[in-house]
Chains A and B, each alone.
Chain A
Amino acid sequence: MIDIAFTLTHSHPGAEWTLDGDDYAGLTWLSDTPKPTEQEITDAYPLAVKAVADKEKTRLKALSDARAFALSLGFTEAMLAVMYPQLKGA
C-alpha cells in the first residue's frame, strides 16, 4: 500500500491538502497547484522512501565523522559518552 500522506510531504512540500482515510479517493487538494494523479503519487513513493533513507544515511555519516574526529583529537570513548552521548554507536 502506498503511503499517500508520507509521499506527498516529500513530493509536494508546502502543498496543502487533506486525506480522508488511506486511499487516493479521499485526497482533497487545497493548494492552487495541480492535484497530483494517483499514478504520479505511486511513482513518487519510492523516491520519497529513498530520500528519507538518504537523509538518515547522511545523518549517521555526519555522526560517525564527528566521532572519528573527536577520537583523533585524543578524546576517549568514556569522555565522548559523557560529553556527546548522541555520538554513541555512530
Chain B
Amino acid sequence: MAVTPAGTPYVESSDNVADYPGVSLALANHIDGLDGGKVLQVVSVTKVDSFTTTSTSFVDITGLTANITPSTATSKILVLCKIAINPRLAVAMSQLVRGATVIGGGTAAGSRPSAMSTFFPGEGTHTTDISVNFLDSPASTSEQTYKIQVRSNSGTTAVNTSVGDNDDSNQPRLSSTITLMEISA
C-alpha cells in the first residue's frame, strides 16, 4: 500500500487486496497500472428540427453529426444515439458512419441490405425511438466524424416528427441526439 502526494492511499500491483479488507472500492481509480476504461471526453450533439426524406439510398440526417479527436490511438469511442424516427408507409433504416466508412451494420444477405436499426410501422404512420450503441476503435488521433444516415424503401421517412406531423397539439416535434465518449484502452 502506498500513498499519493495528496495523502490518498492506493493499492499497488504488488499488493494483495485481500490483505486490506478496509479498502473501499472507491479507490479503484488509484489501483496502480489499471487506468483503462476511463471516460476521457464526451461530445454530444442534439438535433431539434425536422428532417424528411424519400431517398432509397442512405442519406445523412442533417445536423446529427458529431466530431471527436481521440487523445490516443488505442482509445475506444462509444457511440450512443437515439433517433426519433417517423416512417410513413415506409420501412426506415439507419446506419452509423465514421468518416466515409459504414460501421456496425449487419451482414447483407441476398436482397436484404445491411443496416444498424430499422422500423416499419405497418399501415399508416407511427413514431419510435431507434437507438445506436456501438463501441468503435478508430485507431487514430485525427479528428473523427460520426454521423447517422437513414433511407426509406418507399414513402417518406422523417426524423423528429410524430404521427402525421399535422398541426395538432397531440403530434409533438421531437429531438434526436448523438453522443460520443472516448474510453481509455
Report how many residues on chain A are interfacial, defined by Cβ distance under 8 Å.
16
CB-CB nearest 7 A-B residue pairs: A20-B62, A18-B53, A5-B52, A19-B52, A21-B49, A16-B55, A16-B54
In A9-65, which residues have CB < 8 Å from any B CB?
9, 15-22, 26, 30
Chain A interface mostly: mixed
State which of A6, A16, A19 has its C-beta within 8 Å of the C-beta of B56: A16
Instruction: Using known A-B contacts A3-B165, A9-B155, A9-B156, determine if residue A21 contacts B59 with beta carbons closer than 8 Å.
Output: no
Q: Give B residues with C-beta under 8 Å from A.
A: 49-57, 59, 62-63, 88, 155-156, 158, 165, 167
Instruction: Using known A-B contacts A17-B53, A18-B53, A20-B49, determine if residue A5 contacts B59 with beta carbons closer than 8 Å.
Output: no
Q: Give A residues with C-beta under 8 Å from B.
A: 1, 3, 5-6, 8-9, 15-22, 26, 30
Cβ of B127 to closest chain A Cβ, rounded Å = 14
Residues of B within 8 A of A5 (CB): 52, 156, 158, 165
State which of B54, B63, B156 has its C-beta within 8 Å of the C-beta of A20: B63
